[in-house]
């Protein structure tokens, strides 16, 4: 196990550049010449740009400076030995949800029987790092092809550094039956800086349900800069979920790039329940006629938590649909950003593009910055955007109370109803029930980070007393 | 049961109810009639406890010996007050079942009772549904969302049947109803009538009173009850309009 620890203050950027030089051999091991060139460019790009600051337009409301002023540990090889017993950490706990679990620990792919698995149908699931070596042609055909390093210096930094993560390949015409469940756990005794990279490829007519969970198992501070590239082939369908339930000391920059070919369909649904600072950047390119992307998100933040959703949809071809809906409830001094940008290019006639961001602020101190934005160059399109920021509907509150329901439960019912619009789009029923339950707990202030989408750490929650039963009977 | 004395209510400094008195005893049905804008709905809302738009500047409202005006909205409901809304609120995402179950359990909790069992809940729900002729399962329906005017009013009576209030105030429950829906609603109200319960029916037209027979009819005009009588008063109002009352009181 090789470890590099360094003080990241006062200048994390310089330290990172130094670490790259020093660990170049490890970082670039098994890389193709093209990949080496790309990653060298990426580190140069990061060198020029540095970390985003609030002077950067797209980062004006999300200030990383405090999070970057920490003494993080960096690792260039796995932080655990092969064969370590991880069963205590990774334990599926969604009742009735049968999944194909794909775990990551501290950004490293974890497996007890080899780094890459191939099913008889040709589905490949494995370590991003190992796939470079085992399937170089397949890997090099896709890796780094849509993660545009000019979009953000965080993407450049990840491109330069990221060594491991998860690789998933679904060949043409294969419908994967069980949902794949990528679980990313951080467990370490130091504040750790993680840069993982995932690559998901769906061939023509392929189908996959993918659940990405990012959780903490303790209160340890961490910084994750994660990039995921997802290719959805012609007439393929990806049903994608992100569940983020991290501790209050964690910073999570999560950038996803999706590319959709002709007739392809994407549902992506991100539920953010807890986290210190979370930034989701989602780039969707509609790269073929008649493709469709439904991009949804719900965030429930309190205390001083901050969540930032940036969504960029690029309509390149005619007859495509994109539909964005993000809903947030902010309590205490929590803050949220929604920045949606839809680009409809000149050739993208008959585009349907919708964008909506709705927020409920529960206190005077909670803040939301919302910026829906359409950029349209085609003339025959249907596009709309909207944003609302409000309090709970007072007429509805009175109606509920007039039936005997007290303030607390009336608020819960309305907040839950607000979030349910997003939850109801979850098509994996056991996952929906689980997330539904987590959202209720979150709204009651009873959700712990030990209460993950799939996992329970050894210290279970105290038994919970429900004073309201929202369950179906 | 309900005793209102010298009630004065303002909205934004403008006095809407100007010294209203009303006595309602258990077992009685009272109809409050009057032209538009005379304070009928304001009275209903004030009894139910809406306080964000209204200011009660004077007077008292006593319900079963307790001062209602000091009570939170939800506590008034738990004590047995029910308001049938003129415009029932749509609440997307809140299922009718969760809504009713939460309400019943909060009322039961207030009275020191155990939460209702699922079986008992289903039983009273089926009874309430059949009372107003609701066919659908309701399970996946949000409160009033996408309901027609008639469905919304039926849903109010359904809720009344579920919650079994001691004093129901029905605010313009007849407005927007066709004759069939009106009969259903009236039949629901009549079936729920008990010697220990009372109902206040607020209406603009006499039509509803063909089906819900009131013991007393009051005419509310300019924030005061200016005339009271038996059910024959309603018929007289229907034939003669309100103008003769205006002349009478001037």
**Chain A touched by B83 (CB under 8 Å):** yes
The pLDDT mean for chain A works out to: 88
Nearest Cβ partner for A406 among B74, B76, B163: B74
**Which residue, among B72, B74, B147, would best test binding to A if mutated, counting the most A CBs under 10 Å from its CB?**
B74
Q: pTM (2 decimals)?
A: 0.83
Interface of A with B (CB under 8 A): 393-396, 398-407, 409-410, 413-414, 416-418, 420-421, 468-470, 472-473
Contact state of B93 with A416 under an 8 Å Cβ cutoff: yes
- pLDDT category at A464 given cuts 50, 70, 90 is very low
| Chain A nearest-CA residue for B120 | A473
Pair B51, B9: CB distance under 8 Å: no
User: Closest approach of chain B CAs to the CA of A276, in angstroms?
Assistant: 29
Q: What is the pLDDT of residues B124-182, one digit of tens each?
A: 999 999 998 888 776 678 899 988 888 899 999 999 999 999 999 999 988 888 888 88
Closest residue to A413, CB basis, from B78, B94, B139:
B94
Query: From the CA of B64, how many Å to the nearest CA of chain A?
Result: 17
Supply B60's token pair: 């008292």
Q: How confident is the model at residue A7 (pLDDT cuts 50, 70, 90)?
A: very low
* Chain position carrying tokens 């130091």: A190
pLDDT band at B9 (very low <50, low <70, confident <90, very high): very high
* pLDDT grade for B107, boundaries at 50, 70 and 90: very high
Whether residues A420 and B50 touch (CB distance < 8 A) is answered with no
Chain A residues touching residue B73 (CB < 8 angstroms) = 398, 401-402
Nearest C-alpha in A relative to B100: A403
Give the single-character DSSP code of A325.
E
The arithmetic mean of pLDDT across residues A367-383, rounded, is: 95
Neighbouring residues of A311: CB distance < 8 A, sequence distance ≥ 6: A281, A282, A284, A295, A324, A326, A338, A339, A340, A341, A355
Is residue B80 less than 8 Å (CB to CB) from chain A? no
pLDDT band at A163 (very low <50, low <70, confident <90, very high): confident
Vertex B6 angle, CA B3 and B11, to 5°: 110
> Which pLDDT does position A10 carry in this prediction?
53
For every residue of B158-189, which 3-state class applies, written as one string?
HHHHHHCCCEEEEECCCCCCCHHHHHHHHHHH
Q: Which residues, in sequence order, are CB contacts of A58 under 8 Å at separation 6+? A: A52, A152, A310, A339
CB contact under 8 A, A417 and B52: no
Lowest mean pLDDT among A199-203, A456-460, A466-470, B111-115: A456-460
- CB-based contact B52 A413, cutoff 8 Å: no
User: Where would I find the beta strands (DSSP E) of A96-234?
Assistant: 100-105, 108-109, 116-118, 124-127, 166-170, 180-186, 192-194, 197-202, 207-216, 222-232
pLDDT band at B250 (very low <50, low <70, confident <90, very high): low
> Would you state the pLDDT for residue A469?
42
Q: What is the pLDDT of residue A459?
A: 31
* Residues of chain A with C-beta less than 8 angstroms from the C-beta of B139: 472
Tokens of A319: 């007859």
- Option in B95, B97, B103 nearest A404 (CB): B103
SS3 B110: helix
Are B101 and A469 in contact (CB < 8 Å)? yes
pLDDT category at A468 given cuts 50, 70, 90 is very low
Local confidence band at A43 (pLDDT 50, 70, 90 cut-offs) = very high
pLDDT of residue A5: 46
Query: Using 50, 70 and 90 to split pLDDT, how confident is the model at A94?
Result: low
Can you read off the two tokens belonging to residue A234?
């012609």
Mean pLDDT, rounded, for A422-435: 88
- Of B88, B106, B118, which has the smallest distance from its Cβ to A404's Cβ? B106
Please indicate if any CB of chain A lies within 8 Å of the CB of B73.
Answer: yes
What residues in B contact A404, CB-CB < 8 Å? 74, 77-78, 103-104, 106-107, 110, 163
Q: For residue B67, what pLDDT is reported?
A: 95
Q: Is B139 on the interface with A (CB under 8 A)?
A: yes
| In the predicted structure, residue A344 carries a pLDDT above the cut 90 | yes
What's the confidence (pLDDT) of residue A185?
87
Contact A396 B89 (CB under 8 A): yes
Q: How far is CA A315 from the centre of its chain?
A: 22
Q: Given strand B2-11, what is the order of strands in its sheet? A: B14-24, B2-11, B54-63, B66-67
Q: From chain A, pick out residues whose CB is under 8 angstroms from the CB of B95.
A: 472
Q: What percent of chain B has pLDDT over 90?
A: 59
d(CA B76, CA B69): 9
Distance CA B52, CA A93 (A): 46
Highest mean pLDDT among A260-269, A270-279, B116-125: A260-269
Contact B49 A399 (CB under 8 A): no
State the average pLDDT for chain B: 90
Residue with tokens 């004395």: B5
Determine what percent of chain B is predicted with pLDDT higher than 70: 98
Which B residues, 84 through 103, put their C-beta within 8 Å of a C-beta on chain A? 85, 88-89, 91-95, 97-103
Burial of B182 (0-12, 13-18, 19+ CB in 10 A): buried
Is B93's CB within 8 Å of A417's CB?
yes
A34 min Cα distance to partner chain B (Å): 51
* Inter-chain residue contact B77 with A401, CB threshold 8 Å: yes
């Amino acid at each position: 196990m090789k470890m590099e620890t360094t003080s990241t203050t006062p200048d994390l950027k310089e330290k990172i550049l130094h670490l790259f030089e020093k660990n170049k051999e490890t970082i670039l091991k098994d890389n193709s010449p093209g990949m080496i060139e790309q990653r060298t460019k990426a580190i140069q790009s990061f060198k020029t740009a540095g970390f985003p600051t609030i002077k950067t337009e797209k980062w004006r409301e999300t200030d990383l400076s405090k999070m970057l002023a920490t003494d993080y540990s960096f690792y260039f090889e796995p932080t655990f030995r092969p064969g370590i017993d991880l069963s205590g950490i990774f334990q599926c706990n969604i009742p009735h949800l049968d999944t194909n679990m794909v775990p990551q620990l501290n950004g490293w792919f974890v497996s007890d029987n080899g780094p890459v698995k191939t099913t008889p149908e040709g589905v490949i699931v494995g370590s991003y790092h190992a796939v470079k070596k085992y399937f170089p042609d397949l890997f090099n055909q896709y890796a780094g092809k849509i993660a545009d390093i000019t979009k953000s210096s965080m993407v450049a930094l990840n491109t330069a550094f990221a060594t491991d993560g998860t690789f998933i390949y679904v060949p043409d015409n294969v419908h994967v039956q069980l949902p794949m469940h990528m679980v990313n756990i951080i467990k370490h005794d130091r504040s750790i800086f993680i840069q993982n990279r995932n690559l998901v490829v769906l061939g023509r007519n392929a189908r996959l349900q993918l659940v990405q969970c990012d959780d903490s198992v303790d209160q340890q501070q961490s910084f994750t800069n994660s990039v995921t590239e997802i290719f959805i082939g012609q007439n393929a369908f990806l049903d994608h979920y992100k569940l983020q339930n991290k501790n209050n000391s964690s910073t999570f920059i999560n950038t996803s790039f999706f590319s959709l070919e002709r007739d392809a369909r994407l549902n992506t649904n991100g539920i953010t329940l807890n986290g210190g600072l979370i930034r989701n950047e989602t780039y969707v390119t509609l790269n073929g006629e008649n493709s469709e992307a439904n991009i949804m998100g719900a965030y429930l933040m309190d205390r001083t938590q901050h969540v930032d959703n940036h969504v960029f949809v690029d309509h390149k071809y005619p007859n495509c649909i994109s539909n964005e809906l993000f809903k947030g409830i902010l309590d205490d001094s929590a803050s949220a950003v929604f920045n949606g940008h839809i680009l409809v290019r000149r050739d993208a006639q008959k585009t349907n593009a919708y964008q909506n961001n709705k927020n409920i602020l529960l206190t005077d101190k909670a803040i939301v910055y919302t910026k829906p934005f359409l950029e349209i160059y085609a003339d025959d399109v249907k596009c709309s955007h909207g944003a609302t920021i409000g309090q709970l509907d007072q007429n509805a509150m009175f109606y509920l109370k007039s039936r005997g329901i007290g303030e607390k439960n009336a608020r819960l019912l309305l907040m839950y109803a607000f979030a349910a619009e997003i939850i109801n789009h979850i098509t994996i029923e056991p996952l929906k029930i689980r997330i539904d339950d987590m959202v209720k707990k979150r709204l009651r202030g009873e959700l712990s980070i030990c209460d993950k989408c799939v996992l329970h750490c050894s210290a279970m929650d105290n038994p919970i007393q429900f004073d309201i039963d929202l369950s179906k009977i | 049961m309900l005793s209102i004395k010298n009630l004065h209510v303002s909205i934004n400094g403008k006095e809407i109810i100007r010294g209203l008195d009303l006595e309602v005893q258990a077992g009685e049905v009272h109809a409050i009639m009057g032209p538009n804008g005379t304070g009928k709905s304001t009275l209903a809302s004030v009894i139910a406890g809406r306080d964000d738009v209204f200011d009660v500047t004077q007077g008292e409202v006593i319900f079963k010996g307790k001062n209602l005006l000091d009570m939170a909205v939800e506590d008034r409901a738990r004590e047995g007050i029910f308001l049938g809304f003129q415009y029932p609120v749509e609440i997307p995402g809140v299922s009718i079942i969760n809504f009713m179950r939460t309400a019943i359990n909060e009322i039961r909790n207030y009275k020191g009772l155990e939460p209702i069992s699922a079986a008992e809940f289903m039983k009273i729900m089926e009874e309430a549904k059949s009372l107003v002729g609701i066919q659908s399962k309701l399970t996946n329906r949000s409160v009033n969302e996408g309901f027609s005017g008639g469905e919304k009013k039926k849903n109010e009576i359904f809720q009344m049947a579920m919650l079994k209030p001691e004093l129901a105030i029905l605010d313009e429950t007849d407005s927007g109803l066709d004759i069939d829906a009106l009969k259903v609603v009236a039949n629901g109200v009549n079936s729920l009538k008990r010697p220990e319960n009372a109902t206040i029916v607020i209406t603009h037209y006499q039509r509803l009173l063909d089906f819900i027979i009131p013991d007393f009819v009051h005419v509310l005009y300019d924030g005061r009850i200016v005339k009271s009588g038996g059910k024959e008063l309603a018929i007289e109002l229907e034939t003669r309009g309100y103008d003769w009352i205006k002349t009478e009181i001037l």
